[in-house]
Structure 1
């Protein structure tokens, strides 16, 4: 059986198999925790935009059950240790087994302030990754609430408005933000004092777990 350590060391030689632009900082990056148990991140890297990327590797369902707990702890420690905020930190959870991991990982993604991606990997007998597939989180039983933070942007031409919508849509998709509303607004009246008759409205959604008043 190939160990996680062998997979980690082989992966560290070429992180681009997970994502183009990843640059290795250190394997087994030691975390210093003044308030409890410390630990070691399997791989610490930077992406092409300079963000820190925590990469955790699992290869069994038994280890998978502990993965999200460890990842939450590691991300909390590393923000303090490196002095970075959540916007400059990402996580990749890499596993050969997702049967036990999919539900807790989906829950983790909904709650985590850090952008996290799950990757299913196949490895050969030598511990080299032969295939990588991104994991899609499963929908959880939630009701959707519209955020109280809402925006409307106004323009004096339809062309500028439409161009801005394309730019915002691209930016949202590039960071995997899908839970939002974005629609255009046109003024159809004849008031000559309206100088910005074109606009678009944007807001995100917030998800809440459904709970019973009897719980």
Structure 2
């Protein structure tokens, strides 16, 4: 079963006191103690980010590791990745992530992992990367459209409610045919795909949502999607 869990924001790096999304990801594995591997490429392997991953997931029922392309753990990256149960991709610069992954062949390895049933997940850049296209701040001067890996159809916009310029930029890019229609996610929302179809949308915050954004008769449309809050109301 091919699974991708794309977070618009949240998780251990953004809300360390709220474990709901991270626990949800771990529960999707059929292992009692799944092997989860953090891929911090988009942050340039920021030491603090990696440390937060180990501190956080070290307290949960899982086995932790991380994959650095700056200090590779092995020449056999494919073997390293394919023995994991869950891959979690961190946020940062999506364009740099894609360039480095392609140079190292990690894009092909991750597709093989996905096809073999290893759960792919991630936040922000780690969400955009799985789609055909997305909205990115990678260029350092405002937001722009970006072509990504295409495991999932359409476009993606994370931080839909968390950054004021995201919603208008995403809608503008779609209406201007610079991006394909797609899915936007607020901070605290995870979109769980099985295959290339949405299986479930869950949130760690009561009012956080996901949205389908598309053109209809030359007008931009935004449709709120059913989202399950994982906490107690």
TM normalised by structure 1 equals 0.32
Q: Which has the higher strand share?
A: 1
Comparing both chains, which one has the higher relative contact order based on Cα–Cα distances under 8 Å and sequence gaps of 6 or more? 2
Larger radius of gyration: 1
